Amino acid sequence: MASEPQDGLTGYIQHHLHHHTLVLGDSSFMQIHLDTLLVSFALGLLFCVWFWLRARRATSGVPSKGQAFVELVVEFVDTQVKDTFHGDRRTLTPLALSIFMWVALMNAMDLLPLDAPGWAVKTVAGDEAAHHTFFRWVPTADINTTVALAAAVFLIIIAHGVKAKGGFGFGKDLLVAPFHAGNPVAQVALMPFNLLLNVVEYLSKPVSLAMRLFGNMYGGELVFMLIAGLFASWISFVPGVLFNTAWAIFHILIILLQAFIFMMLTIVYITMAREHH
């Protein structure tokens, strides 16, 4: 449990909302959140090594608990892809699995003690160093992470659409759907409206993916900060632990649900992009 913040609850929350930032040049716009990059890449590497090792050590006999868990996750994701996408899923299932596990691992960082980085710095370097050290270890509570993930998914959606229909067919779909007309003149007149609707539809997909994940994880992180700040003194240690535990148990559902939603929407959007009108 954290000690009572010097600037009160507001200062405590503001401190924990800061990123460990690297500013490029003189512009405050060009910033790199080093904590977000470090944690997200470390978790991505952890996922790859974890599943690779389990695949290398897999046996045809009675599986170990670790192998059984990995097989359960892979089978679960493959079932979701098979039920939604009726085509060659050899590349789509690994993509869906990577998205689900990576997002779930990044979300799960919210369950770690909020003040652990500050406590570690305080133990090594003292109070002053801890007060000026910032480290947020929930990458999906950073809008940059969710926007980057959504942008990558958006490019994959476009690539699938072009691959399925060809460049000409994909461009044609943007102009002639969803409104069709038998008269060529009327069809040409409808093209600007079709293009506008399709552009809005395509752009809304990454926006919805990014903002939904960010909003839920940012809100969950704020609740943890409020609980930790309100019960910061040693007198309220037991109530603070109880409230944090209760919220953490409920938050597990949000962590897994948001990873599942991000994965499922990716599959659905790719399926839609490959459909022919």
CA distances from 115 to 80, 85, 120, 121 (A): 37, 43, 9, 10
Which three-class secondary structure state does DSSP give residue 31?
Answer: strand
- What percent of the chain clears pLDDT 90, i.e. is strictly above it? 48
Average pLDDT of the residues in 62-79: 92
Q: In this predicted model, what pLDDT tens digit does every residue of 231-254 receive, in sequence order?
A: 665 555 667 678 778 888 888 999
Selected residue with higher pLDDT from 2 and 56: 56
**Catalytic residue from among 3, 89, 144, 212:** 212
Identify whether 212 is a catalytic site residue: yes
Q: For position 4, what pLDDT does the model report?
A: 43
Going by C-alpha positions, the residue among 226, 225, 220 that lies closest to residue 249 is 220
Selected residue with higher pLDDT from 276 and 1: 276
Query: Is the previous residue joined to 178 through a cis bond, with omega within 30 degrees of 0?
Result: yes
Identify whether 60 is a catalytic site residue: no
Identify whether 54 is a catalytic site residue: no
Q: For position 233, what pLDDT does the model report?
A: 57
**Catalytic residue from among 208, 233, 244, 274:** 208
Task: Answer whether 0.85 is exceeded by the pTM.
Answer: yes
Q: For position 7, what pLDDT does the model report?
A: 60
Amino acid at 11: G
**Catalytic residue from among 40, 107, 194, 216:** 216
User: Which backbone phi and psi does 89 adopt, to 5 degrees?
Assistant: -105, 20
Going by C-alpha positions, the residue among 218, 214, 223 that lies closest to residue 250 is 223
Helix residue ranges, H only, the chain: 8-16, 34-56, 65-84, 92-108, 116-125, 127-131, 143-176, 184-230, 237-274
Q: In this predicted model, what pLDDT tens digit does every residue of 156-169 receive, in sequence order?
A: 999 999 999 998 98
Q: For position 69, what pLDDT does the model report?
A: 93
